[in-house]
Structure 1
Amino acid sequence: MTKDTTGAPWEQGSQWYDGEAGPLVRPYAMTGGRTEPGSTGVRFDLIALVTLDPGISAVDDDTALGPEHRSIIDRCRTETQSVAELAAGTDLPVGVVRVLLGDLLELGWVTVSRPVPPAHLPDERILREVIEGLRAL
């Protein structure tokens, strides 16, 4: 019989249990073996912003949502979160968060938007000319 890091004995086949952290759940178990976010066609970049649909007030216990889905919903309830923030806040791998967000998006619980890339923002020179023009009025 071998001992774990805490000195407690563990038997063969129980390597999926850590005495300090508790049972280990593999990421594929949380997503049902899926590795892609589904057929939404939305890219979940790390900087994509996730917002809870304003019409959602409470999560029914009857829904097929798991605890990870609910954790994402709870984090988005207070403010818009990026995919990276959701992964960090829920302590889940980014790939798992993307799959779970795909589920929530298909159900209509969340919306996903991307911030405007810097290349699409107006040039600073143009903005200064507008300000100068407004001051001249």
Structure 2
Amino acid sequence: MPFPPDGPLLDDAAGRLVRPYTVSGGRTRPTAELDLLSLVMATGAAPRENLGPEHALALGLCGGPISVAEISAHLGLPAAVTKVLLSDLVECGAVTARAPRRHHPPTDRSLLEAVLDGLRRRL
């Protein structure tokens, strides 16, 4: 069947034509322990295996410490898919990941009150 006159069924408004699970090879769980706030940074070592274009884009963003959430936003991919891509890069030695520092327990009352005060001021 020939393509329509306007091209091979591509639509700029449709966005990404490759499903995110295809990018991660159908995998949904990362092999490395990554949090949305984990900081990832390139090691300078070239990946030992041939990875996909999304891996290269993610690696390009890791010049300085950057969070998994930021990489996900820049790539326009779900966080779960981004974690799989980054764990591939960790496994091959191209990036390192560091867990976020926890200065306060998540239920620290003074921290929660400070956040609430800040939100009230913005509203």
TM-score calculated relative to the size of structure 2: 0.69
- The aligned amino acid for 1:65 is L
Query: Does residue 73 of structure 2 align to residue 88 of structure 1?
Result: yes
Indicate the residue corresponding to 1:126 in structure 2. Answer: none
Decide which structure has the larger Cα Rg and report it. Answer: 1
User: Which of 14, 34, 42 is matched with 1:52 structurally?
Assistant: 42
Is residue 47–residue 89 contact of structure 2 (8 Å, CA) maintained in 1? no
Query: Distance between the aligned counterparts of 2:16 and 2:101, measured in 1?
Result: 41
Q: How does 1:1-137 map to 2 (within 5 A)?
A: 19-21=11-13, 24-38=17-31, 40=32, 42=33, 44-53=34-43, 55-56=44-45, 63-77=49-63, 79-119=64-104
Q: How many residues are aligned here?
A: 100
Query: Distance between the aligned counterparts of 2:24 and 2:100, measured in 1?
Result: 27
- The aligned amino acid for 1:34 is R
Where does structure 1 lack aligned partners over 5 or more consecutive residues? Answer: 1-7, 121-137
- The aligned amino acid for 2:59 is I
What RMSD, in angstroms, separates the aligned Cα atoms of the two structures? 2.6
TM-score calculated relative to the size of structure 1: 0.63
Query: Distance between the aligned counterparts of 1:73 and 1:116, measured in 2?
Result: 23
State the percentage of identical aligned residues. Answer: 43
| Offset at residue 119 of structure 1 (A) | 2.3
Superposed structure 1 runs of 4+ greater than 2 Å apart: none
Query: Distance between the aligned counterparts of 1:81 and 1:93, measured in 2?
Result: 16
Larger relative strand fraction: 1
| Offset at residue 59 of structure 1 (A) | 6.2
Where does structure 2 lack aligned partners over 5 or more consecutive residues? Answer: 106-123
Report Cα offsets for 1:80-108 as digits up to 9, x if no partner: 11000000111111111000011111101
